[in-house]
Amino acid sequence: MKRMGPRLEEKAARIGLWTLTLVTVAVLVFIIVFILRRGLPVLSLEFLTANPVDMGKSGGIFSTVVGTVALTILAILIAAPFGVGTAIFLTEYTWGGPVTRVIRFGAECLAGIPSIIFGLFGFILFVTKLKFGWSILSGGLTLAFMLLPTIIRTSEEAIKSVPPAYRQVSFSLGSTKWQTVTRVVLPSALSGIVTGVVLSVGRSIGETAATIFTAGSALRMPTSLFSSSRTMSVHFYILAREGISMSKAYGTAAILIIAILGINILTYYLMNRFIRKYSS
């Protein structure tokens, strides 16, 4: 086969990569526009603040918003400290021997498990064995398990990207290991760690399979950690699946998308301010 000239090759690569990028972005935009065009007309203050009536055929989605927020906060409150702690331990407190590799491999395998399996696991362990029932507690714990691998992985990468020289400097200035980790390593790794946590928030808000088995699908306003609660994603699933109300389903989907976009944008804004303050 005859080789292309370098100029032609460069041009072909450029056009090829452009096309790929364009298709990706186009699909993304299409999905968002598709949902928003059907969902936005349904949205109103009442839709957000009223509880569902008649299985969700009318009324709003307030109790599902509360359920989603409660589950997500609980999941992050559990997963973030455990995940970041594990990442710190793996990167700063071990030499990277076989034990570390086994833990890391385990975490990576966990990341590949379908969420519905986590749902089943949560159902068996928390809902039935530990008798938490279908509840925010069961759902939050299950979500936390599901998020752990991602948080560990992203935190580890963030911590590893902190220049080794920073640690040397910190130690040579008479810091303890703990001071080095908390005063030098973590601040430098923070933006990466927070990015991982925010991605996890997004996943947790959007998760359906794991929560339907563990938090249940009650439409009542949750009153405690032991209340069963329906998340927005589960609500959307049930509305669409059982043909209760497609317009309400799209409304819910629109809220989900806006919420996740909003969280991402806010985080990156805060992160940029943080980075500007500390590194330039």
Partner 1 sequence: MTDVAIEVRGFSQYIGDVRKIHALDLDVRRNEILGIIGPARSGKSTFLCALNRLNDLVRGSRHEGTIRIDGLDIYGPDVDVVGLRRRLGMVFATPVPLPRSIYENVAFGARRAGVRGMARLDGIVRDCLEKGGLWEEVKDRLDTSGLKLSGGQQQRLCLARILAVAPEFILLDEPTSGLDPISTMKIEESLRRLKKDYTIILVTNNTKQAARIADRTAFFLSGELVEVGPTAKIFTAPDDQRTDDYLRGRFG
Binding site for partner 1 (CB under 8 A): 95-96, 163, 165-176, 179, 183-184, 187-188, 278-280
Q: How far is the CB of 94 from partner 1 (least distance, A)?
A: 10
Of 96 and 114, CB closest to partner 1: 96
Q: How far is the CB of 279 from partner 1 (least distance, A)?
A: 5
Residues 6+ apart with CB under 8 A from 221: 51, 62, 63, 66
Q: Phi, psi (5° rounding) for residue 175? A: -90, 150
Of 59 and 187, CB closest to partner 1: 187
| Amino acid at residue number 279 | S
Of 58 and 168, CB closest to partner 1: 168
Integer Cα distance of 27 and 10 in angstroms: 26
Pairing status of strand 52-53 against strand 58-59: antiparallel
- Distances from the Cα of 87 to the Cα of 142, 195, 257, angstroms: 20, 15, 30
Do residues 110 and 201 lie in contact, with contact meaning Cβ atoms separated by under 8 Å?
no
Opening angle at CA 230, ends 224 and 235, nearest 5: 160
Of 224 and 279, CB closest to partner 1: 279
Q: How far is the CB of 96 from partner 1 (least distance, A)?
A: 8
Q: How far is the CB of 187 from partner 1 (least distance, A)?
A: 8
Of 2 and 276, CB closest to partner 1: 276
Task: Locate 34 and state its tokens.
Answer: 């598709």
Q: How far is the CB of 268 from partner 1 (least distance, A)?
A: 19
